[in-house]
Amino acid sequence: MQFKFQRNTLNIKEIYDDFKDEKLVIDNSYQRRKVWMKRDNVRLIETILLNWIIPEIFLWPAEINPDTGDTVTHIVDGQQRINAIIDFISGEYKLQERYLLSEPDVRGEFTNKKFSELSPELKKNIWMYNISIVNIDRKCTIQDIKHMFYRLNLTDYSLNEQEKRNSLDNEFGNVSKELANDEFWEKHKVFSASDIKRMKDIEYCSNIIILVREGIVDQTSSKKLNETYDDLKYEYLDKDNNIKLVNLIMDVIDAFKSKDSISFLNKKSQMYTMFCVGLEVIENKIDLTDNIVSTFNSFVRVYNKFKNGMDLTFEESLHSELFEAIKKYKLASSEGVNKLSNRVIRFEILMKHCIKAKPYTQEALKHIEKVIDNLQSNDNDYSTVEEDEEEE
């Protein structure tokens, strides 16, 4: 079908009013989240104040209210710009000087000012600034719009792979989005604000679902993730069972949480390993005893204090075995964390030395911890500053 596209202009006052009245909306089913930084917002407003042109915005009249006759219009492309404008007018940020690009004598009237602090003349200029609009044919369907959004952003390098996956209607993607909203992730502080903005939380949750479906897999590339999105695009029959299993694993992981394990569990690679362990615990009906939990926390305390390059010798064979295991675990957490081999190494070490630990393992770990504490107190090279780990 051939669609018609018409071009016109709307001033910011018209856009602002329609947005506030919810006649102009963002459909989060395919749009990305707010990702612009403060710098980007400031520079857009600066461009408007200088009366220069900003990129056009694509709008789609999605539906008509049968009672009022009002049209609800979707912002198909341009939501970051509109959000930046609305937020500035609403007083959410000021035009910080360090982000402005124009010469000092040009920007002097608006430097470090919020909208409310601008001169009446500059405020009027903002309200009356015209933005180029592309009006999309009303006959387009939501599927047409999603494909259009995807194509509009194919060459946009600021749109990451997960945002492009999200731009297309997908049953597996919808389940991943629901999982990303679970309070579990906030409780364990797994995702940063930047992760959430760029939908890295949804991508991570997609990988967790793949884990419960297929077991540990190699994900050094996006191939497996893309294949799963394609395979389960229209139909995901076992989604309820998969999510039920994920929730059971979350309960297992919650049982391990303590003041000692907080910084361990909020790392994405370690949380992934704990999902591997939790899956094994549930599938094999392993009784999660207090001794298992306390042994895990002893392991984590030693791991957190261990530094790459640390070389210690122990008389007891169990002490040596545990120290070598921690050294190996650290290496598998430092690089290539998504490689199948490193994921398996981390999983097997936690299973062997925490979940199915030998007798006296906890006492041995406490001894190793004491030795490391003594070493660190006498050697600044082994201070307790936390080492960086590669993230999932």
Range among 100-114, 178-192, 308-322 rated most confident: 178-192
Which has more confidence, 383 or 55? 55
Q: Would residue 277 count as lying in a domain?
A: yes
* Cβ contacts of 209 within 8 Å, gap of 6 or more: 172, 175, 176, 179, 228, 242, 243, 246
The confidence band for 379, taking pLDDT boundaries of 50, 70 and 90, is low
Beta-ladder partners of 140? none
Q: Do 300 and 190 lie in a common domain?
A: yes
Q: Tell me the two tokens of residue 72.
A: 């609800």
Q: Would residue 389 count as lying in a domain?
A: no
* Cβ contacts of 224 within 8 Å, gap of 6 or more: 210, 217, 218
Query: Could you read off the pLDDT of 54-81 as tens digits, one per residue?
Result: 989 999 988 887 888 888 899 988 888 9
Q: Do 30 and 178 lie in a common domain?
A: no
Helix, strand, or coil (residue 71) = strand
Is pLDDT above 70 for 286? yes
Average pLDDT (238-249) is: 97
Mean pLDDT of the residues in the chain: 89
Q: Would residue 162 count as lying in a domain?
A: no
The residue range of the domain holding 66 is: 5-156
Q: Would residue 387 count as lying in a domain?
A: no
Q: What is the pTM of this model?
A: 0.64
38-49 and 120-128 helices, crossing angle to 10°: 100
Q: Do 189 and 307 lie in a common domain?
A: yes
Count of the separate structural domains present in the chain: 2
Q: Do 275 and 144 lie in a common domain?
A: no
Q: Do 225 and 87 lie in a common domain?
A: no
What pLDDT does residue 145 have?
82
Query: Could you read off the pLDDT of 322-377 as tens digits, one per residue?
Result: 999 999 999 999 989 999 999 999 999 999 999 999 999 999 999 999 999 888 77
- Rounded to an integer, what distance in angstroms lies between the CA atom of residue 392 and that of residue 390? 7
Give the H/E segment covering residue 6. Answer: strand 5-11
